[in-house]
Chain A
């Protein structure tokens, strides 16, 4: 590991790091004072752009560029909404952050809010994370009592209120426009873009939606300058990132590493792969799977994974070993997307469900010749044909698994072809499989 990078994780191991008292001893809220209030909004935005910080929620869009598009001076209220609706299978970094260091998030929100003319900010936390919601509310109360939130923060002319909004269990609310709908009291169904939320979002006002981890990097960047942040990472993926690693690995957990680290080096850091590596999902279930050869050559940054037609996503790394059956890994993924489709667009609502049912059939030993090829056809019909990328993520997962681990799928089909006669009879029964 290169020089210890603790942009985000410096308080994770500190006892009671979630309390204001301890966090302040470790430098929390040092930026909330002249360091922030003497800067103009424009300087802050350009700083973030120069630091090269990219959105850590999955898409990796440069944060500074997103901020530039917020119309700060229109006279309309601008909202900052923190996306803490973490639910991508494999990802658990945001939960960890809110639990261990809520004050870094709040400090980052004050910085982002100041830069973007925000008077009211919301933290949208997924409904399952009630313990983390309690912790955030506790931290917010401490901040109000200490004059770090509310009106005229620390004697300045800036005022900010932060409210926690509890979601109610819908993966799709992690998509920013669905999240805004959910915040407004609608079903969490994504909206068409444009208009982009930065121009017309919550209650038709400009709304900047940022991930928890993105915002948590801001205090460090403000303290140390944008160039210092570039000491880690690569030219186009600077800085550090939290990776949540689970699956067949020695020490699953959340790790902060510089971007651009070779994947195998990261595995060693996390206790090494259990058994012999077969493949790895590098960025949450939406990210196309990598086979062993690809894992051996790739580095953990946006470009290297993009070049392999996969993605860094939310940084959820999930290696699996040769004792695993890729069909059994893909099956829950396909089921997940079918379960979480919001039902708004037909290709996704029908397509993800259809794919799921075919998988159930294959796993149940009733696969048919041609099923595997049909997945490509099916995926092509719901990839990029919907409002949001949920169906596309499903299509990528299916296509990558089927093309890289084809022989495992064929084994199921071969085994089940022996039962073909019985199955044809079953198909004639009403209510049979498809």
Chain B
């Protein structure tokens, strides 16, 4: 991070011991326990733990990274690499109000460079630096996903994209130099009235009593029962006649083991099972493995007669509801091989 005081960082790093950090992070115990429940492995907590450190200290000192590594069960050096990788973890103390201005292409079209120049002039600093009174830091950042209100501006973690309060969105509104002046004035007054800033929950007020990821430390969530969803019926049933030979085909879920073919000759009132297909042996549809299958069955009926077919799929012990019905009339095959009826 450019523009920070290297000596101040070193001093601050040296001032803390891990015991002191643990002590200071006591109020975060409930959130840490909740986070540790949420991931299959504790290392998933790391990014969130670094956020907590930043919430407490205003930046991420190395000793804080060590604490984050402890609660995430990773090595400190791993945690250090991760903290360095992400741009939002502050590697040095910053001003109380961090003003981030997007310098992406959309915001530049809307005059981001002029706005940044104005800020630099109004505060008497360069982008990347902090004012002497420690109140303001200005950063040029990449896209903030508020291009419709470009140039996008974030004040601490709140969007400035409307004329009213922060986070109050107004379609198509763009901040002007005068708006920023107004906000600087307002923030200065706020700092005077309240010398100590309020802490902002860096995780956005998460729930603290979820049951967690089944199997994780401290979690009480039960795993899903295997059969919470009904067994899958066969889909897209088709019956095609080639003379008296009828081919019944369908689309089956990969978990289907067996499909029985049923026929009705009275228009769907009574059904008789005429055979079963071993779906396990049916090859899957083209594509990645584990995809659905297209089993088929061949039946014989008299030419000119009509039959309805449906398929009842089974997933091991469970029987799915019958499929939709496909009706077919067996048509005579003429000499030129013309196809018969189709459902």
Contact with B along A39-65 (1 / 0, CB 8 A): 111110010000000000000000001
Other-chain contact of B235, A46, A169, A252 (Cβ < 8 Å): A46
A117-B142 in contact given A69-B290, A188-B86, A318-B105 (Cβ < 8 Å): no
A303 at the interface (CB under 8 A from B): no
Contact with B along A299-340 (1 / 0, CB 8 A): 000000000000000001010100010001100110110011
Using CB atoms and an 8 Å cutoff, list the residues of chain A in contact with chain B.
37-43, 46, 65, 68-69, 71-73, 75, 77, 86-92, 94-95, 99, 114, 117, 119-120, 126-131, 133-134, 136-138, 140-141, 144, 150-151, 156-159, 161, 163-171, 182-188, 202-203, 205, 244-248, 251-254, 281, 285, 316, 318, 320, 324, 328-329, 332-333, 335-336, 339-340, 342
Chain B min CB distance to A354 (Å): 19
* Interface segment out of the listed B122-130, B248-256, B262-270, B297-305: B248-256
The answer to whether B87 touches A251 (Cβ under 8 A) is no
Other-chain contact of A128, B47, B145, B200 (Cβ < 8 Å): B145
The 5 closest A-B pairs by CB, nearest first: A42-B232, A169-B88, A185-B46, A133-B204, A42-B253
The answer to whether A99 touches B169 (Cβ under 8 A) is yes
Chain B min CB distance to A130 (Å): 4
The answer to whether A140 touches B207 (Cβ under 8 A) is yes
The answer to whether B82 touches A157 (Cβ under 8 A) is no
Other-chain contact of B43, A89, A158, A184 (Cβ < 8 Å): A184
A329-B105 in contact given A126-B145, A159-B224 (Cβ < 8 Å): yes
| Residue total for B at the interface (Cβ-Cβ under 8 A) | 83
Question: Which residue of chain B lies nearest to A130 when distances are taken between CB atoms in the complex?
Answer: B157
- List 5 A-B pairs, Cβ < 8 Å: A72-B255, A130-B200, A151-B221, A161-B221, A185-B43
The answer to whether A39 touches B229 (Cβ under 8 A) is yes
The answer to whether A73 touches B103 (Cβ under 8 A) is no
The answer to whether A316 touches B291 (Cβ under 8 A) is no
Chain B residues with CB under 8 A of A320: 109
Other-chain contact of B40, A165, A203, A285, A342 (Cβ < 8 Å): A203
The answer to whether B89 touches A43 (Cβ under 8 A) is no
Chain A residues with CB under 8 A of B114: none
Report how far A157 CA is from B228 CA in the complex, Å: 5
Contact with A along B66-83 (1 / 0, CB 8 A): 000000101000000110
The answer to whether A168 touches B47 (Cβ under 8 A) is yes
A166-B51 in contact given A69-B288, A185-B82 (Cβ < 8 Å): yes
Report how far A163 CA is from B203 CA in the complex, Å: 11
B205 at the interface (CB under 8 A from A): yes
B332 at the interface (CB under 8 A from A): no
Contact with A along B279-314 (1 / 0, CB 8 A): 000000001101110000000000000000000000
B213 at the interface (CB under 8 A from A): yes
Chain A residues with CB under 8 A of B158: 130-131
A161-B211 in contact given A39-B229, A42-B235 (Cβ < 8 Å): yes
The answer to whether A324 touches B48 (Cβ under 8 A) is no
B231 at the interface (CB under 8 A from A): yes
A187-B81 in contact given A120-B213, A137-B205, A168-B88 (Cβ < 8 Å): yes
Chain B min CB distance to A248 (Å): 7
Other-chain contact of A150, B47, B150, B211, B254 (Cβ < 8 Å): B211
A336-B104 in contact given A114-B229, A251-B172 (Cβ < 8 Å): yes
The answer to whether A167 touches B204 (Cβ under 8 A) is no
Chain B residues with CB under 8 A of A90: 104-106, 143, 147
The answer to whether B214 touches A339 (Cβ under 8 A) is no
Chain B residues with CB under 8 A of A126: 145
Report how far A170 CA is from B141 CA in the complex, Å: 11
B residues 157-193 in Cβ contact with A at 8 Å: 157-159, 167, 169, 171-172
Question: Which residue of chain A lies nearest to B109 when distances are taken between CB atoms in the complex?
Answer: A247
Report how far A291 CA is from B289 CA in the complex, Å: 42
